[in-house]
Amino acid sequence: MSFAIVVSQFNQSITNQLLQGAITRLNERGILDEDMTVVKVPGAIEIPLAAKLLAQSRKYQAIICLGAIIQGETDHYDYVCQQVSQGCSQIMLQYDMPIIFGILMTQNWHQAEERVGGKAGHKGIEAADTALIMIDVVRKILSE
């Protein structure tokens, strides 16, 4: 299996933890580092474009998208969340490929930290698990 991981560099202390969790989980499941392509983008809004280009290549069974959008004092948060989630969803449906949405959308920094190994689990690990499950789901459906 071959995976691509697109990770935002904005809020990097959180996104690096998401990335490490995803890579560690994939390694635990027998996926070698050379079977993973990591693409770093400046912010969450750039994730859908990178994911689309990776999907177009047809080299990967799944693309994991990782980022952290943390609410500020303006409406910018709402627009970014909407655009990123819609973009990722459109790519998944256009290419019939699992595009895993491992992008945190939190009200504050503390909530983001809780989702990279705190009380709320580890969303990077969960994204990798979801990718593995969805690859199997797609294979089963297409083989029927």
What is the set of active-site residues? 76
Instruction: Give dist(CA 121, CA 135) in Å, integer.
Output: 22
Sort strands 116-118 and 121-122 into parallel, antiparallel or unpaired: antiparallel
Both ends of the chain: CA-CA distance in Å? Answer: 20
Other Cβ atoms less than 10 A from the Cβ of 128: the count is 30
Instruction: From 3, 24, 2, select the one nearest 116 (Cα to Cα).
Output: 24
